[in-house]
Structure 1
Amino acid sequence: MALIFRWLIRLTAGLILLSVLSVVTVYWLASRSLPDYDDAVTVQGLSSPVEIVRDNANVPHIFGATDHDVFFGLGFAHAQDRMWQMIMLRRTAQGRLSEVFGTATLEIDKVLRRFDIYTLSVQSAEALDPRTRAALEAYAAGVNARLEQINTEALGRGAPEMLLFNAPMAPWRPADSIAITKLMGVQLSGHLEAEVIRARTSLALPDQDRLKDILPDSPGQGVAALPEYQALVPGAPRHAGNIPLNPHPLSPFKPRELAGASNAWAAAPSRSASGGTLLANDPHLGFTAPAIWYLARLELQSGGVIGGTIPGMPVVLTGRSADLGWGLTSAYLDDQDIFIEELNPDNPEEYRTPDGFKPFETRPSIITVKDADPVTLTLRWTDNGPVLPGTHYNLASITPPGHVTTVSWTNLSPRDTSLAAAMRLMEAKSVEEGLAAAEGYVAPAQNLTLVDREDIAMKMIGAMPRRDAQHQSQGRLPAPGWIAANRWQGRMPYAANPEFVAPAGGILGNTNNKTVNRPFPNHVSFLWGDTQRVQRWQRLMQNRQVHTRDSFIEAQLDTVSFTARSLLPLMGAELWFTGEAAPDGTPERQRQRALILLAGWSGEMNEHLPEPLIYAAWLRSLQARLIQDELGPLAEEFTHVQPLFIERVFRDVEGAGVWCDVIQSTRVETCPEMARLALDDALIWINETWGDNLESLRWGDAHQATHDHQVLGEVPVLRYFVNIRQSTSGGDNTLLRGRTKGTMPNPFYNVHGAGYRGVYDFADRDSSVFVTSTGQSGHFLSRHYDDMAQLWRRGEYIPMSLDEDLARAAAVGVTVLTPAPR
């Protein structure tokens, strides 16, 4: 017995020792890829030494004798901190994820191969002007220099993920940067799915007049420039089959509710307390760890620029120079049209055109799949665009037999000069020069907000399709591709893009709201990203005669929901303080407690309050009750509340109150009745999920920001090291936007918001500030992996300065790149 006990002790000790050695080995291997920021590296491809000075927030300030050398340094810095992110973005754009992840990502690869994004990127690289091409080549050389260092010095393959997923690393090419730009276009697109949803909803609804309720047009004339302050305040300041969209974390195809969004606003000197222009910008994308954004400063020959970059692209997309600031918001331009293509019944390899049947352009494409047989696709294109699979956003549900669907899309241009425009923008010295620089921008369409020392402006940039005035669906629904009037007729001139320069009121802004109200085909879009946040923005801007950097920050972090303030009085109109007090423990008593809390609530979506959770759950349950009987399974596609729909129903606009009646029941239900039932539904869900003590609820517990690692985020144990979860304020319709997930089991998780925030003050430029949602490093063992996360959550920022001495004063390291002897 003693012998067995001794052997058990030895075996246990051995297993413990083996486990410790394994952990130490894994940690050592992973830590090998942590970059040494105090390093001197000899590299090929430089004309003179480059310094990468990383300030105390690990923001690289890159200094070189030529622009070529500076772009080389940016490529090296991106590869030091975000190698895995860059490789994954490139693989996604190429349709080559399945080489690493097997069948789990096969559907993503299939669709992206059909879009042929990478081939179009190679063609676009050849169409660039020599200066831009040289910059992309210099950037690629910097990335490849880091790859060479990793291989030569055995630096753990550059990232821990590269050790776990043994994927080869091909050299970086200029076309890779263009492909990532196009991939951003995929992530920011929503019109394709919107057309499908509109078509399916039209088929499902027995009364076509009700389509304008559930999918309403944005009302009003459009908001961009605000009027003069004194003018406002005188003297003072049929049901189709449903394929649920449950995308892989690496998929760029997001539900339309999670397509691009953003905020930007600017003030002219006349509306600034300091007499200098102001600009605030916070672009919104899906949250990941690390964030898609990477802060950097480039000291170019034209001057220093600083702001947010995306690793893989050698440009500051949102930021400032000494003379100009620029910000981006999604423009919601209708840049996608679905076409129904009729196949030749005698030859399915041909499709119908206005001039008869014509063969598809075809090309085979082989997808290599890890641990499975290769998959061969036949890529087919028509004059209108690529043929898409029926599984993509449920296209099969609206495609008649004997037909296929294609898409026309500006993002599929083979002569995409968007990066060239971004390069020119970094060199611009004035609003006028910035507007001229953006003319070559193609996709994805953005609202570009500009400020120089004196002026402010906003212009939509991106190719605007030219449609025939006789287009059968005006681009709102899939249309027959063989009818000439439905086909695109080139692009509109840049001058036709909406533009607002030096407004008399001194304030410009965009929250993805409707900016213009022009008739088709000059309309820009029927679908806009916001009808709610802009209401709150207008009030905050006009509440002050003059603004400061701090008031712009206050607006950027505002958590008051205009939607809650406007809808709650309608929903509870006949419920507030009615009836006798109900006994404790009854559903009626719980309802009364909820209504008492909501009656005294200001609409602030603060993470520490219970009211936002009660309100959000009530609103979600209410929409579900209103649409389930009419839409059936299609109701699952409406994952987020449509505020205009709720308002139309409760105000009975054009008979919209009929949605409150349940079709299948014999009696006629009223809207107050549906509101009461929905509140009971919400309280039951809250009780089952969070408990029955309403006063102790916290919105932030349900509204956690999910900065999850796209690959390792679901791996047991490891996920606790790579995912960043935070209690957060805000909501779907607040300026501090925290777009909710919308699907069970955690419908209110905060999954989409401002990964970057910046506020630029041209009265004192070095008092400008910026921050990202996680940190600079993509390496989860680095202290810079999440060191900005708590700053971001608390609404804090770091200095955004072009002062070289300030950057060097508390630098965490200086990397010197020295040219190799020739």
Structure 2
Amino acid sequence: MAMLFKWLMRIAGALVVLGLVAVIALYFLLSRSLPDYDKTLHVKGLAAPVQIVRDNANVPHIFGTQDTDVFFGLGYAHAQDRLWQMTILRRTAQGRLSEVFGKRTLPIDRLMRRYDIYGAARDSVAAQTPEARAALDAYAAGVNARVAEINSAALGRGAPEMFIFNAPISPWAAADSIALIKLMAVQLSAQLPNEVRRARVSLALDDDARLKDIMPDAPGSGIAALPDYAALMPGTELPRHAAVAPPPQHPLSPFHPPELAGASNAWAAAPSRSAAGGTLLANDPHLGFTAPAVWYLARLDLAAGGVIGATIPGVPVVLTGRSDRLGWGITSAYLDDQDVHIERLNPDNPEEYLTPDGYKPFETRRSIIRIADEDPVTMTLRATDNGPVLPGSRYNLGAVTPAGHVATVAWTALSPRDTTVSAAMALMRADTVEAAIEAGALFVAPAQNLVVADREHIAMKLVGAMPRRDAEHESKGRMPTRGWIEANRWQGTYPYSANPEFINPPGGILGNTNNKTVDRPFPAHVSYLWGDTQRIHRWQRLMQNREVHTRDSFIEAQLDTVSFTARSLLPLIGADLWFTGESAPEGTPERLRQRALALLADWNGEMNEHRPEPLIYAAWLRALQDRLARDELGPLNAEFTHADPVFIERVYRDVDGAAAWCDVVQSGPKETCTDIARMALDDALVWITERYGTALESLRWGDVHQATQDHPVLGDVRLLRYFVNIRQSTSGGDHTLMRGRTSGTGPNPFENVHGAGYRGVYDFSDPDSSVFIISTGQSGHFLSRHYDDMAQLWRRGEYIPMSLDPELARAAAVGVTELLPAE
């Protein structure tokens, strides 16, 4: 027995030793790909030396004697820190994820192949300006120089993920960078799914008048009522209420529901509204959270002057940032740049579709998708004059497409002459508001509100191609329409001068929170779908409360967590519930409701992570939306994952009879809106107590509203997720200026999944006092200390200096890389 015990101990000890050896060996292999920032390297493709100085936050400051060399250095720096992220984004744009991840990503690849944004990017290379083309080629050479160094020096394949997944890296090309801009347009698109949803809701509702309640227009001057979707398809049998359950959302998917499309804040102040006498500009673009963040901070020392700000790895431009003379920021414009068309097939030849001039053959080509550990799949891709044919299984198009028809989409992002990168290049070299607006003429997609400030002037201009529609368009671009009707087809695009612009407003302040900016009649209307009807009210108050602003007051506004929505809706929906009746016995549902109402009655609407009221309020609003719409919409109700404040306000103010939503259609009694509000609050409290107990006063909003900055590939791996995911308790909510958009689905619908991955505030009274931050860190390598070193600063609302002073960058540099031309 003693001998057996001795051998068991020896075996156990050996296993422990082997485990430690394995861990050490794995760490050694993974750490080989950690970049060395302090070195000298001879590389091909440089005309003169380049110096990359990384300051103490690991922000590269790139110096060279000519611009192409500087862009070479940026490509090298991006590849040092974010090579895996860049290659995965490129594979997404190309529709080649399945080569690495197998059939799980096949639905993504199928749809990306149908859009063929990579083919359009390849065609767009020739359309770039000479300066942009030179920069794209130099940038690609810099990326490829880093890949060559990894291969020649056996630097751990460049990223830890490369050991886990067999993902060979092909050379970077100019088209790859253009494709990543187009991929951003995919991520920001909301019009297409909204068109289909509007059509499906129209089919589901018995009363057409109620469509404007559940999918309301942004407040302001309205438009004529739309017809029922069935009226747009006369003589066809529509699959009413039919729907195909969408596949589970893969973390790598660029396709998001309209509720999670892009958003942002940007505002500027003229010298007359600045305490220090210089212009001010603030910008915080909102995208889905990932680890590492979408954004990467960099400074480029160009011949026209230094520029610093946020880049996207894979794209050689500062998309939001400043020079010494000009600052620029962007917000999603919500331009209606997508239209769904229903195409009629030739009953005698399904390879033809109907046009205004008769039947015409589809443009057809084959595409092969290679799949890891599976046989390849061959797709037949078809397109019409209006755009590519999409399958009925995507966006639930099958539910609005009659038999004998197919759906296509017209979209500006599919342009084969997309000069958006050239526009961004010209913007970096602009030194005045006028020059910045002129540079915006080359923007195509994604459409953005460009907010700019030089030392004396401020302006906002919508940049991006605006589709020109016929005034007789059947649905005004709001629902799918017959593609063979001439009036439903696009007639080119408007001239750039037609895009809305605001220059030096009399009040000295301008800004955008994705709110409705203009109220022009169709077809020059810009959009009927806007991303914000709420944050703009809080922004207006903060801007008007001060006669003059400072950098700190702009920071305060960026970090503001007071919900205008909560302040306006709670008195409305709870009007007949506050302090009514005697105190109920402890332990009863009535007493729990009274305690919740007492907390909300004393609450100022601040979505503070340490408070219980934001969770009670958010759960109540979510339950209320569900109670109001479930009986009318049926299964469609599940797609309305976020409470719409305008819908709830219309119902509780009984706008145009909207209170009809409060009556449960299937029940005998007629429920009032007070009944529904009380039942919804009870629903919310049941949900809360099942998860967190009945101690309402000890709830913390931040415990459920955690920022989910997860690695999109390794984030679900049981052991690795503790190393690669960055989870943080956060304040804010769906409708606060410090926006923390909730997921709306899953076991925790209040996870913070979408917000400001970048914040910047630029002060032109003292430009080097400007500040910025990203939500994770510069490195994409989870063993690097720079993987998450900015995360806590971002969570606490802190910033780092945004200085163009080279000596300040060198003073506490974490490394200096010298790139020298190879002999």
- TM-score w.r.t. the length of structure 2 is 0.97
Cα displacement (A) at 1:391: 1.3
Q: 2:443 aligns with which of 419, 441, 444?
A: 441
Cα displacement (A) at 1:242: 4.4
**2:655 maps to which residue?**
653
Q: 2:472 aligns with which of 470, 473, 489?
A: 470
Cα displacement (A) at 1:778: 0.2
Q: Give the distance between the partners of 1:12 and 1:59, measured in 2 at CA.
A: 47
Cα displacement (A) at 1:658: 0.5
**1:129 maps to which residue?**
129
**2:692 maps to which residue?**
690
Give 3-state SS (helix, strand or coil) of 2:396's partner: helix
Cα displacement (A) at 1:679: 0.3
Give 3-state SS (helix, strand or coil) of 1:459's partner: strand
Q: 2:564 aligns with which of 558, 562, 565?
A: 562
Deviations 1:297-346 (A, max 9, x none): 00000000000000000000000000000000000000000000001111
1:727-742 aligned at under 5 Å gives the runs 727-742=729-744
**1:215 maps to which residue?**
215
Letter aligned with residue 441 of structure 1: F
- Contact 1:339–1:384 (CA under 8 A) maintained in structure 2: yes
1:520-531 aligned at under 5 Å gives the runs 520-531=522-533
Q: Give the distance between the partners of 2:371 and 2:156, measured in 1 at CA.
A: 25
Cα displacement (A) at 1:128: 1.4
**1:322 maps to which residue?**
324
Give 3-state SS (helix, strand or coil) of 1:393's partner: coil
- Contact 2:707–2:728 (CA under 8 A) maintained in structure 1: yes
**2:71 maps to which residue?**
71
Q: Which moved more, 1:208-217 or 1:240-249?
A: 240-249
1:93-172 aligned at under 5 Å gives the runs 93-172=93-172
- Contact 1:245–1:393 (CA under 8 A) maintained in structure 2: no
**1:773 maps to which residue?**
775
Instruction: Please report the RMSD computed on the Cα atoms of aligned residues, expressed in angstroms.
Output: 0.8
Q: Give the distance between the partners of 2:274 and 2:250, measured in 1 at CA.
A: 46
**1:414 maps to which residue?**
416
Deviations 1:132-189 (A, max 9, x none): 1111000000000000000000000000001110111100000000000000000000
1:460-609 aligned at under 5 Å gives the runs 460-609=462-611
- Contact 1:182–1:443 (CA under 8 A) maintained in structure 2: yes
Cα displacement (A) at 1:131: 1.6
1:25-424 aligned at under 5 Å gives the runs 25-220=25-220, 239-244=241-246, 246-424=248-426
Deviations 1:95-134 (A, max 9, x none): 0000000000000000000001111110001221222111
**1:234 maps to which residue?**
none
Q: Give the distance between the partners of 1:130 and 1:505, measured in 2 at CA.
A: 40
Q: Give the distance between the partners of 1:744 and 1:815, measured in 2 at CA.
A: 46
Q: Give the distance between the partners of 2:130 and 2:434, measured in 1 at CA.
A: 24
- Contact 1:242–1:634 (CA under 8 A) maintained in structure 2: no
Q: Give the distance between the partners of 1:750 and 1:488, measured in 2 at CA.
A: 38
Percent of matched pairs sharing the same residue: 73
**1:639 maps to which residue?**
641
Letter aligned with residue 283 of structure 2: N
Cα displacement (A) at 1:221: 5.9
**2:784 maps to which residue?**
782
Cα displacement (A) at 1:240: 2.7
Cα displacement (A) at 1:470: 0.5
- Contact 1:239–1:631 (CA under 8 A) maintained in structure 2: no
Give 3-state SS (helix, strand or coil) of 1:628's partner: helix
- Contact 1:52–1:816 (CA under 8 A) maintained in structure 2: yes
Q: Which moved more, 1:100-109 or 1:3-12?
A: 3-12
- Contact 1:468–1:521 (CA under 8 A) maintained in structure 2: yes
- Contact 2:241–2:399 (CA under 8 A) maintained in structure 1: no
Q: Give the distance between the partners of 2:448 and 2:129, measured in 1 at CA.
A: 22
Cα displacement (A) at 1:690: 1.2
Q: Give the distance between the partners of 1:582 and 1:438, measured in 2 at CA.
A: 63
- Contact 1:242–1:633 (CA under 8 A) maintained in structure 2: no
**2:820 maps to which residue?**
818
Deviations 1:669-713 (A, max 9, x none): 000010000000000000001111000000000100000000000
Q: Give the distance between the partners of 2:394 and 2:87, measured in 1 at CA.
A: 25
Q: Give the distance between the partners of 2:189 and 2:681, measured in 1 at CA.
A: 34
Q: Give the distance between the partners of 2:221 and 2:654, measured in 1 at CA.
A: 22
Give 3-state SS (helix, strand or coil) of 1:620's partner: helix
Structure 1's unaligned 5+ residue stretches are 223-237
**2:229 maps to which residue?**
none
Give 3-state SS (helix, strand or coil) of 1:162's partner: helix
Q: Give the distance between the partners of 1:359 and 1:27, measured in 2 at CA.
A: 57
Give 3-state SS (helix, strand or coil) of 1:392's partner: coil
Letter aligned with residue 453 of structure 2: V
Q: 2:618 aligns with which of 616, 619, 623?
A: 616
- Contact 1:445–1:462 (CA under 8 A) maintained in structure 2: yes
Q: Give the distance between the partners of 2:310 and 2:116, measured in 1 at CA.
A: 28
Q: Give the distance between the partners of 1:305 and 1:35, measured in 2 at CA.
A: 24
Q: Give the distance between the partners of 2:5 and 2:88, measured in 1 at CA.
A: 51
Q: Give the distance between the partners of 2:739 and 2:132, measured in 1 at CA.
A: 35
Cα displacement (A) at 1:241: 2.1
- TM-score w.r.t. the length of structure 1 is 0.98
Q: Give the distance between the partners of 1:502 and 1:287, measured in 2 at CA.
A: 34
**1:758 maps to which residue?**
760
Give 3-state SS (helix, strand or coil) of 1:29's partner: helix
Letter aligned with residue 285 of structure 1: L
Deviations 1:400-439 (A, max 9, x none): 0000000000000000000000000000010000000110
Deviations 1:749-800 (A, max 9, x none): 0000000000000000000000000000000000000000000000000000
Give 3-state SS (helix, strand or coil) of 2:435's partner: helix
Q: Give the distance between the partners of 2:679 and 2:247, measured in 1 at CA.
A: 29
Cα displacement (A) at 1:246: 2.9
Cα displacement (A) at 1:245: 5.6
Structure 2's unaligned 5+ residue stretches are 223-239
Give 3-state SS (helix, strand or coil) of 1:69's partner: helix
Letter aligned with residue 737 of structure 1: R
Give 3-state SS (helix, strand or coil) of 1:450's partner: strand
- Contact 1:195–1:477 (CA under 8 A) maintained in structure 2: yes
Give 3-state SS (helix, strand or coil) of 1:460's partner: strand
- Contact 2:609–2:700 (CA under 8 A) maintained in structure 1: yes
Q: Give the distance between the partners of 2:420 and 2:17, measured in 1 at CA.
A: 56
Q: Give the distance between the partners of 1:150 and 1:520, measured in 2 at CA.
A: 55
Q: Give the distance between the partners of 1:130 and 1:497, measured in 2 at CA.
A: 26
Give 3-state SS (helix, strand or coil) of 2:123's partner: helix
Q: Give the distance between the partners of 2:336 and 2:385, measured in 1 at CA.
A: 19
Letter aligned with residue 731 of structure 1: G
- Contact 2:62–2:300 (CA under 8 A) maintained in structure 1: yes
**1:12 maps to which residue?**
12
- Contact 1:471–1:485 (CA under 8 A) maintained in structure 2: yes
Q: Give the distance between the partners of 2:692 and 2:392, measured in 1 at CA.
A: 40
Letter aligned with residue 416 of structure 2: P
Letter aligned with residue 729 of structure 2: S
Letter aligned with residue 345 of structure 2: L
Letter aligned with residue 335 of structure 1: D
- Contact 1:265–1:510 (CA under 8 A) maintained in structure 2: yes
Letter aligned with residue 149 of structure 1: E
